[in-house]
């Protein structure tokens, strides 16, 4: 077979001779396409680069969702051999970012990282969303759930969860409870707490968890649900006291605290779970590849340590298992809201 350089030389000679049929004669040789395809240098230069993968983050910079997303993106890029581009789209408890993903082309180039429980709550409340959080989002991979605690100031009269329930029940509408905004997971949890134990705690919404904790220390609110990472310093100093676990499972770090879900409020969950989603219609093989890469990233030692520091319990699930759980949790939330006639506004 002629070499690539000799073919190019023949082309120049034919053109110089003024042959009108030089291109036809060249291709009749039957070698140009073969050389071009099989030439290692040509094949390498012609191989298209993988396009960037945009990771839409459903919360603003600095939020726990943002810090975890960026940690994961840094590990995920090399695994997929793609550039990961984080892009914050905060607002409406994650609904703005989720709505964008719901309308995005399912080409595997855009994913959503968010705390998705708020989306399930909004759907159950039949809020006027421009998309359906269950039908218009494709679950890709679960990431984890933060351990959430019921906190009170150190000088609060109740020393245990049972004492807290008795005190609050004896003084209706006397105590304020901070929440991370209307319709947030801990707002939903507060209303479920009120309904389950016949309490009348007054919700006070905040835009950020840090301000909520600051105001509790200042006496404006008397109790909050908080992630362990946010509360760690204050727990160590003795400024606040944990009375119960608001996330679904016991925590090895707090073995003596009751789990509210196991203490008279089945299904109770004040923690917003973290997960990754794609547009509906994303090819199955693309979903599987993303899921496998995300699971590998979650096994990275630095990532595990970062999530542990944030109080997040990592969850590894297949696309199918996460999809089934996401739908079931949405149904469970809707059932709680309906059965207890919860009003979250």
Q: How is the chain split into domains, by residue range?
A: 4-46, 53-145+272-339, 148-262
- The angle, 0 to 180 degrees and rounded to 10, between the axes of the packed helices 117-124 and 185-197 is 60
Instruction: Return the pLDDT at 154.
Output: 97
The tokens 């690539």 sit on which residue?
A: 4
**pLDDT of the residue at 10:** 54
Domain 148-262 in this protein, CATH class: alpha beta
**Rounded Cα–Cα distance for residues 328 and 333 (Å):** 9
Q: Which pLDDT score, from 0 to 100, does residue 48 have? A: 54
* C-alpha span between 159 and 154 (Å, rounded): 9
Helix (H, G, I), strand (E, B) or coil at 98: helix
Given the DSSP bridges, would you call strands 110-115 and 148-153 parallel, antiparallel or unpaired? Answer: unpaired
User: Is 140:284 a contact under the CB 8 Å cutoff?
Assistant: no
Q: Is the pTM of this model over 0.85?
A: no
Residue 85 to residues 78, 89, 198, 248, 286, Cα–Cα distance (Å): 13, 13, 47, 33, 18
Q: Measuring CA to CA, which residue among 242, 239, 190 is closest to residue 218?
A: 239
Task: Please give the CATH superfamily to which domain 53-145+272-339 belongs.
Answer: Bordetella uptake gene, domain 1 (3.40.190.150)
Digits of tens for pLDDT over the chain (345 positions)?
444 445 445 544 444 455 444 444 444 444 444 433 444 444 444 445 688 999 999 988 888 899 999 999 999 999 999 999 999 998 888 999 999 999 999 999 999 999 999 999 999 987 788 999 999 999 999 999 999 999 999 999 999 999 999 999 999 999 999 998 788 888 999 999 999 999 999 999 987 788 999 999 999 999 999 999 889 999 999 999 999 999 988 998 899 999 999 999 988 889 889 999 999 999 999 999 999 999 999 999 999 999 998 889 999 999 999 999 999 999 999 998 888 888 776
The predicted structure's pLDDT at residue 39: 42
Q: Give the model's pLDDT for residue 49.
A: 65
Q: At what angle do helices 209-218 and 228-237 cross, to 10 degrees?
A: 30
> Smallest Cα–Cα separation from 180: which of 272, 81, 107?
272
Is 53-145+272-339's fold the same as 148-262's? Answer: yes
* Residue among 115, 99, 110 nearest 64 (CA): 115
Residue 178's pLDDT is what?
Answer: 96
């Amino acid at each position: 077979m002629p070499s690539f350089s000799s073919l190019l030389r023949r082309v120049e000679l034919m053109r110089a001779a003024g042959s009108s049929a030089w291109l036809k004669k060249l291709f009749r040789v039957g070698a140009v396409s073969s050389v071009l395809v099989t030439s290692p240098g040509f094949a390498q230069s012609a191989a298209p680069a993988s396009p960037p993968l945009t990771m839409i983050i459903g919360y603003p910079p600095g939020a726990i969702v943002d810090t975890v997303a960026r940690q994961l993106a840094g590990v995920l890029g090399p695994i997929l051999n793609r550039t990961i581009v984080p892009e914050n789209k905060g607002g409406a408890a994650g609904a703005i970012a989720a709505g964008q993903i719901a309308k995005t082309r399912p080409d595997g180039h855009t994913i959503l990282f968010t705390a998705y429980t708020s989306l399930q709550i909004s759907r159950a409340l039949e809020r006027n969303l421009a998309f359906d959080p269950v039908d218009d989002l494709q679950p890709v991979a679960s990431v984890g759930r933060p351990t959430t605690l019921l906190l009170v100031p150190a000088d609060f009269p109740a020393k245990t969860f049972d004492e807290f329930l008795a005190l609050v029940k004896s003084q209706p509408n006397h105590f304020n409870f901070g929440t991370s905004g209307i319709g947030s997971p801990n707002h939903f949890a507060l209303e479920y707490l009120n309904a389950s134990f016949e309490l009348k705690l007054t919700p006070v919404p905040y835009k950020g968890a840090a301000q909520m904790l600051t105001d509790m220390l200042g006496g404006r609110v008397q109790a909050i649900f908080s992630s362990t990472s946010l509360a760690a310093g204050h727990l160590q100093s003795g400024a606040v006291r944990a009375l119960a676990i608001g996330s679904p499972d016991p925590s090895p770090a707090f073995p003596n605290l009751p789990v509210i879900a196991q203490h008279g409020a089945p299904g109770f969950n004040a923690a917003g779970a973290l997960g990754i989603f794609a547009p509906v219609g994303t090819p199955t093989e693309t979903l599987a590849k993303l899921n496998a890469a995300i699971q590998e990233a979650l096994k990275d030692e630095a990532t595990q340590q970062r999530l542990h520091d944030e109080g997040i319990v990592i969850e590894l699930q297949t696309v199918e298992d996460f999809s089934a759980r996401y739908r079931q949790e949405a149904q469970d939330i809707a059932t709680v809201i309906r059965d207890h006639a919860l009003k979250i506004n």
